[in-house]
Amino acid sequence: MNATNKQHRAVLQSIARRVMVEKGLLPDFSGEALAELAGIPGPAIGKGEPLRDRRDLLWASIDNDDSRDLDQLTVAEALPDDQVKILVAVADVDSLVKDGTAIDDHARHNTTSVYTTPTIFPMLPEKLSTHLTSLNYNEDRPAIIVEMVIGVDGSLQDSNIYRALVRSQAQLAYNGVAAWLEGNGMVPAAIAAVRGLAENLRLQDRAAQRMKKFRQIQGALSLELIEARPVFEGDEIRALEVEKRNRAKDLIEDFMIGANGVTARYLSAKNFPSLRRVVRTPNRWERIVEIAGEHGFRLPAHPDSRVLEEFLLQEKAADPLRFPDLSLSVIKLLGAGEYLEESPGDTPPLGHFGLAVKDYAHSTAPNRRYPDLITQRLLKAALAQGPVPYGKEDLEALGKHCTEGEDAARKVERQVKKSAVAILLESRIGERFEALVTGAAPKGTWVRLLHPPIEGKLTQGFEGVDVGQRIRVQLIHTDVERGFIDFQRIT
């Protein structure tokens, strides 16, 4: 297929819809779901039990520049002895999306929003996810509040969960907040417009850095990736925009990790089952040991996240420019996460190897992920001292389904992104690149170019290569419709 007619967006939208169907996902909402949606007049305020009023706090959202489905707000309070209370407000999606409805059936089927290059396939209708259940600026919304008291060393000293009414004082974007926090930019106008917000965000940032340092001591892995996102100019793809981690993204990530842990432990304390996010011990630890050995670092024969973190920190300090390549190799060798049911009294939880936490339940993005909506229903039932809404077998089946759905969504996103990149590379057949091997299995060998950071399949010369190796490759074929980017190894 040749995409030189410049109608790149329309081509990719067609591909995205086709791949959604091929992977068993629903690109459109049913008539029943749309009829239900039409009957929802507004946000769930003033319905049910009274909520605590926390609208006076300096709540703000920090998300991607173009995000409209806002799941969380954060704020901080200074406490005696240099402790900090972090409050995370999570959108109360269950207030409008009830189990067993047609809207819920769609969300349960897809399990997640699917973010492709030309379009988004939202898990919930946009009237909900970007409006009625989104924590939008200057709008009153019901939310689940997770409070965390963070000590000077970054450890969790106390926690609390309750329902409340909140109002966002500012809608902020990662890049602008990060540039300001890192001293590379002016304070964003939305921050400067709210008295006390800048000081509060500085307090949040300090608490987040403490939390990260504490988790690193426990063995959380310092991994860093470079992602390339195709950028449109009108309907034509013109370039790749490289996205990196930054201080604002880290701040939100640290708070969400903390809130997810508090939620999991709260359910366990209330004798409720939960759906845990688990990353088992690495699939290929022996290869991680080999890679560390190539860098002059000795890892133990058995998986140990603390020693692996020592190696990662050493390499990040020694070669920060190439550290994302090492991170990518380690991530590929760790293996994918999964959702598992856990009941009180079960054997110790498997936990999340990469985060070095034992108690972890996705709970902070219910507009975008179905496991978070499941967790929210469990949490609200526990808060109300009501019956458990899901049985053990239900959660086991949902965990398996959500793991499979997340994998399908990731494949859709990856294939459409490759189709977009294939458009950019159509004129570069025959060019040679430095590359990193990112996957080596019977089903195929994969490489990622160092510049630009594009992944494709090594179709020739793959014998004997393994994850983490650097090789030279030549681009030999692209297929926009199928998302193929093929390389051969050269010397």
What's CA 14's distance to the chain center, in Å? Answer: 26
Cα angle, residue 226 at apex, residues 73 and 126 outer, rounded to 5°: 40
| Strand boundaries in 314-462, DSSP class E | 338-342, 432-441, 444-449, 455-460
pLDDT of the residue at 328: 81
Secondary structure of residue 431 in the 3-state scheme = coil
C-alpha to C-alpha distance for 371 and 56, rounded to whole angstroms: 30
Query: What's the pTM?
Result: 0.89
DSSP H or E stretch at residue 275:
strand 274-278
- The residue whose two tokens read 């988004």 is 120
- pLDDT the model gives residue 1: 46
| Cβ count within 10 A of residue 52 | 11
Q: What is the CA radius of gyration of the chain?
A: 23
**For residues 402 and 251, what is the distance between their CA atoms, to the nearest angstrom?**
27
Please, how many CA atoms are within 13 Å of residue 202, restricted to the half-sphere of its CB? 8
Residue type, 120: I
Using 70 as the pLDDT threshold, list the residues of the chain that sit under it. 1-6, 46-48, 345-358
Give every CB contact of residue 420 below 8 A, 6+ residues apart in sequence. Answer: 8, 12, 117, 118, 230, 237
The per-residue pLDDT for 216 is 83
Give the rounded distance of the alpha carbon of 410 from its chain centre: 11
How confident is the model at residue 417, as a pLDDT? Answer: 93
Contacts of 68 (CB under 8 A, 6+ apart): 126, 129, 130, 134
Q: Strand 72-78 vs strand 120-121: parallel, antiparallel, or unpaired?
A: unpaired
> Looking at residue 332, what is its pLDDT?
82
- Residue 119: CB partners within 8 Å, gap ≥ 6? 12, 13, 16
Kindly give, in sequence order, each residue whose CB lies less than 8 Å from that of residue 441, ignoring residues fewer than 6 positions away: none
The pLDDT value recorded for residue 353 is 65
Parse the chain into domains and list their residue ranges.
8-270+362-390+404-420, 285-334, 429-490
> Is there a contact between 436 and 450 (Cβ–Cβ < 8 Å)?
yes
Per CATH, the number for 429-490 is 2.40.50.140
Strands 455-460 and 470-479, by their bridges, are unpaired
Cβ(453)–Cβ(49) below 8 Å: no
Quote the tokens at residue 208.
């987040």
